[in-house]
Amino acid sequence: MKNVFKIASILAFIIGIMSIVAGSKVLLGIDTKNYTVLNWLVTYNVIYGFISIIVAYLIWTTNKFTKKAIIFILASHITLLFYLSFFNENVASESIKAMVFRISIWSIIALLTLNLKTQSK
């Protein structure tokens, strides 16, 4: 069971680093895109990248706030995807795909960790 938490933690850490690196490159002008970039969305992704690293640590240490943190991130991403899909006409399809990818990874993390925590009680 401990290995599953480590795998989930590593996934959270990797997606956090990916968000920070990719978003920072865009915000700093190092990486330019051939589509409309919503700076507020890139900023959101960088901030959640840092939050993901913190949550990765919580998962690794099986902290009591792990469940709430995972649900918070997943709910935030789902809410934002809903907003981008239905209420924002300027969003690039790449942004939608990236958010779906984040939701997929965080769903896997949630399934790995939340299910095991429930079973262990």
* Amino acid 1: pLDDT: 65
| Residue 90 DSSP one-character state | T
Q: Where are the domains of the chain?
A: 2-120
pLDDT value of position 118: 46
What pLDDT is recorded for position 110?
95
Nearest residue to 31 via CA among 20, 23, 41, 40: 23
Q: Please write the tens of the pLDDT for every residue from 29-44.
A: 998 888 888 999 999 9
Q: Amino acid identity, residue 29?
A: G
What pLDDT does 121 receive?
43
The stretches in the chain having pLDDT less than 70 are: 1, 116-121
